[in-house]
């Protein structure tokens, strides 16, 4: 990931459903912004493409699913990321266990959106420094924003569950991505 770009890393289990869905949706929505997006899995099915039903659900949303290859999460990926977005709290915990200093920049997708919901639009130019500052502002909301209902920050795993579940998960990821973009202050710019 280039050092002059703001780097987002999405993480799930196998890196064949939720994290590539988020990666591809973020890339599609951030066109032109100085942001790179990558994904990995804590137990990656290394080398595999996006799961068939998830790829179809992504394509139905108008986002290209081709060319993805699952990667295993490693400490270097975590170290290079300015923002780490996970599908579930177990993934966030795995990231922080691997690199404890990543705590302040590691969130579930839904958690980041929830914590940053009231921050408004980013003022000034969209730069890496401005986005790093926004991540800090979102992290500062921990403990100030009411906790969610049990499980509300999770996005369930559709792997092996078929097309209808993949479509539901893709919809959940899309809504979370919208919330992430709003929390970063990038919606409507």
Q: CATH number of the domain that 113 lies in?
A: 3.40.50.2300
pLDDT at site 147:
81
- CA distance between the termini of the chain: 24
Q: Token pair 């703001």 is at which residue?
A: 6
155: containing domain: 6-183
pLDDT at site 170:
97
8 Å CB contact between 53 and 18: no
Residue 188 maps to a domain? no
pLDDT at site 148:
85
Quote the mean pLDDT of the chain: 93
pLDDT at site 1:
43
pLDDT in tens, 163-180: 999 999 999 999 999 999
pLDDT at site 189:
52
Give the number of domains in the chain.
1
pLDDT at site 31:
74
Residue 189 maps to a domain? no
pLDDT at site 188:
62
């Amino acid at each position: 990931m280039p050092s002059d770009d703001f780097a987002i890393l999405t993480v799930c289990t196998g890196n064949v459903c939720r994290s590539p869905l988020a990666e591809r949706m973020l890339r599609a929505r951030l066109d032109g912004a100085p942001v790179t997006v990558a994904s990995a899995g804590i137990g990656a099915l290394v080398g595999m493409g996006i799961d068939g039903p998830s790829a179809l659900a992504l394509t139905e949303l108008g986002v290209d699913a081709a060319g993805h290859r699952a990667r295993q999460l490693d400490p270097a990926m975590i170290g290079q990321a300015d923002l780490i977005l996970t599908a579930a709290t177990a993934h966030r915990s795995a990231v922080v266990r691997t690199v404890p200093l990543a705590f302040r920049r590691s969130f579930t997708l839904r958690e980041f959106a929830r914590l940053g919901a009231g921050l408004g639009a980013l003022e000034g130019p969209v730069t890496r420094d401005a986005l790093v500052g926004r991540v800090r502002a979102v992290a500062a909301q921990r403990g100030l924003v009411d906790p969610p209902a049990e499980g509300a920050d999770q996005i369930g795993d559709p792997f092996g569950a078929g097309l209808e579940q993949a479509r539901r998960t893709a919809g959940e990821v899309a809504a979370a991505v919208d919330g992430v973009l709003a929390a970063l202050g990038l919606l409507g710019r």
